[in-house]
Structure 1
Amino acid sequence: MLNGSIYTYLSVFHAIAEQKSIAGAARKLETTSPSVSKSLKLLENYFGVSLVNRTTRRLELTEAGLYLLHNTQKPMSELEHTLERVKNFGQDISGIIRITTARYAYLTILKPYIGEFHHAYPDIQLEISVDNGMVDILKDSFDLGIRFEDRIDEHVIARQLLPSLTQGVFASKHYIHHYGKPKSPHDLKNHKLIGFRFATANRISPFFLQENGHKITVDMPVSLIVNDIDVAMDAIRQGTGIGRLFLINLLQEVDADQFIPILKPYWMKYPPVYLYYLKASKNSKRIQIFIEFIMGKMKQYAMQNL
């Protein structure tokens, strides 16, 4: 059994073959001649054959030594390159960052800044997956995720991007003209809801409001079921029913004033929004660059809008 790393002893052997002397190999490797001789001896003992013929004037490789040199030069070179690449892997500011995010978060947190980030770091590729359901970033091979605080695995690192978000209830002028405007949650049983169902769920997401400091569930007829915020907005615009929207998403719409707020005193607040990532990502320079970039943007956004 060869003691130590075979890679280390093969490196010594290659230096001996290149320098054609023990002393030359020692100088190249910045070590001592006895150390080089010992490494060569261990390698020969491992294979059970002589790799070098030593004379008083010169050093030559045996047939076995020539065979070993010829068949390990390319693999050793590739291995050295790979080891160096892995060593510097975390320091690269190039490569792919895979991000999973819910739709509401994409619209506010990522969409406005994708172009700016690309121009600042053109060698970093963002791969963005929009999914309103639960996502395991380790299992699904994502680098980062953006979700509500209560939907994050406790085993990841999480940093708050936005404070608690308010979900408003809206209808169009056309809808209110035809069906009237509800005055209390109890009136909603006579109205139509634009239901929201996550792609991974089997049922419509419950409609929650707050009344006297308590969360209440509202049951009402459903006119349309969607799984996308943009589709919900279109349905509200066209008077299909009453819909729920986060205020931060509505702020970006040019026709935001066409969405009539309903039952504002009863609106729900949801947990803060967090960016989360695996502990190993702390060592990746490109991921940390993106994290600091988006954290800075959200700090500015919160100061201006929240």
Structure 2
Amino acid sequence: MLSHLKGIEVFLAVAKHGSFSAAARAMGVGVPAISQRLKVLERDLGVSLLTRTTRALDLTPAGRVLLSGAGPALEQVQATIESARSAGKAKSGTLRLTIPWSAYKILVAPVLADFQAAYPDIRLEMSFDEALVDIVREGYHAGFRLGDRLADGMIATRLTGPLVAAYTASPDYFNEHGRPAHPKDLLSHRCICYRFVSANRIADWPFLIDGHETTMSPPARLVFDSFRSVVGGALEGHGIGWSLRAVVEDALADGRLESVLEPFAAMHPPFYVFYPEENRQLEPLRLFIAFLKQRRAS
């Protein structure tokens, strides 16, 4: 069926303009191309569509049937194609994202109001999720993850540089329990740990010791399955929590949290936004990524 569309388009142009030469001019092709397309269409259909004379072209009965049915149908197809093309390029619509709270805090929260002001017709639907999500199966247009946790087969755009870890607690906690000077000192502290949702295991804490990356499992006084809760527990004075420094920068700046073990802080991969190939031309997604990158650069 699809192979006949071009031939039908040529036939409709000839019927509309009354000659091969006029149809060729309207379509921007040569007369031989018009003639060849019609011959192929008539051969495939097994009927003649036009009666050719030296003075005019007349429609055969089969040609009149095709004209009456195919004309409106082709116009509808062309209108639908154009609507689909416009929808993909429109600066409007819904953008569904899965994003860890840490990525939201670092990348999206600082610019969200400005993006919504710049693009009021784009609706953002964000699901805070620390687990590894199949964005295609779950119906998301894109996801945000650290570079070592990207799904295979996706287009990925880096949004940050490498991220440094932070080990923080409230001033009241340190006043009461002291400040660890070495990662091994955490064995005598109350630690707030994170549990991987997908793997269902408590995350080890990364450190850089004597130039080598290593991990350790501190005693878990509290365990949460979201980094937002880990940071919240530290703010509330329940112990020392591990997170990303960019996530707690504001709390460190205003004194609500204090940082320890900075010489041993490990580096983490950058945050990326990733999406399937079919969403590459989705205009709301393209605009959102460009906005995030521009604001990070400035």
**TM-score band, normalised by shorter chain:** 0.7 to 0.9
Q: What corresponds to 1:260 in structure 2?
A: 258
Of 200, 206, 209 in structure 2, the residue corresponding to residue 208 of structure 1 is 206
Q: CA deviation at 1:91?
A: 5.1
Cα 1:7–1:192 change in 2 (3 A) is same
Q: What corresponds to 2:46 in structure 1?
A: 48
> Which stretches in structure 2 are left out of the alignment for 5+ residues?
none
- Normalising by structure 1, report the TM-score: 0.78
SS of corresponding position for 1:258: coil
Cα 1:67–1:135 change in 2 (3 A) is same
Counterpart amino acid of residue 182 in structure 2 = S
In 2: Cα distance, 1:217 partner to 1:177 partner: 26
SS of corresponding position for 1:251: helix
CA RMSD of aligned residues (A): 3.5
In 1: Cα distance, 2:73 partner to 2:113 partner: 41
Q: What corresponds to 1:236 in structure 2?
A: 234
Which is further off, 162-171 or 60-69?
A: 60-69
CA deviations over 1:138-192 (Å, ceiling 9, x no partner): 6666554433232335755545433332222122244345544434333322322
Which is further off, 288-297 or 178-187?
A: 178-187
Q: CA deviation at 1:197?
A: 1.3
In 1: Cα distance, 2:122 partner to 2:246 partner: 28
Counterpart amino acid of residue 242 in structure 2 = R
% of aligned pairs identical?
A: 32
In 2: Cα distance, 1:35 partner to 1:212 partner: 74
In 2: Cα distance, 1:35 partner to 1:209 partner: 70
Q: What corresponds to 1:121 in structure 2?
A: 119
Aligned length: 298
Matched, 1:109 2:126: no
In 1: Cα distance, 2:33 partner to 2:189 partner: 87
1:105-184 alignment runs, 5 A limit = 105-135=103-133, 142-152=140-150, 156=154, 158-184=156-182
Counterpart amino acid of residue 261 in structure 2 = L
1:1-306 alignment runs, 5 A limit = 5-22=3-20, 24-31=22-29, 35-53=33-51, 59-85=57-83, 92-135=90-133, 142-152=140-150, 156=154, 158-253=156-251, 256-277=254-275, 286-300=284-298
- Normalising by structure 2, report the TM-score: 0.80
Q: Retained in 1: the 8 A contact 2:101–2:228?
A: no
In 2: Cα distance, 1:107 partner to 1:268 partner: 20
> Which stretches in structure 1 are left out of the alignment for 5+ residues?
301-306
Cα 1:42–1:152 change in 2 (3 A) is closer
Cα 1:43–1:275 change in 2 (3 A) is closer
Counterpart amino acid of residue 259 in structure 2 = P
Q: CA deviation at 1:110?
A: 0.9
SS of corresponding position for 2:250: coil
In 1: Cα distance, 2:283 partner to 2:147 partner: 25
In 1: Cα distance, 2:54 partner to 2:217 partner: 97
Q: Retained in 2: the 8 A contact 1:161–1:299?
A: no
SS of corresponding position for 1:208: strand
Which is further off, 206-215 or 149-158?
A: 149-158
Cα 1:26–1:295 change in 2 (3 A) is closer
SS of corresponding position for 2:239: coil
In 1: Cα distance, 2:10 partner to 2:162 partner: 61
Q: Retained in 2: the 8 A contact 1:164–1:270?
A: yes
Cα 1:259–1:83 change in 2 (3 A) is same
Q: What corresponds to 1:304 in structure 2?
A: none
Counterpart amino acid of residue 74 in structure 1 = P
SS of corresponding position for 1:257: coil
In 2: Cα distance, 1:193 partner to 1:169 partner: 10
SS of corresponding position for 1:25: helix
Cα 1:67–1:262 change in 2 (3 A) is same
Q: Retained in 2: the 8 A contact 1:174–1:238?
A: no
In 2: Cα distance, 1:198 partner to 1:214 partner: 24
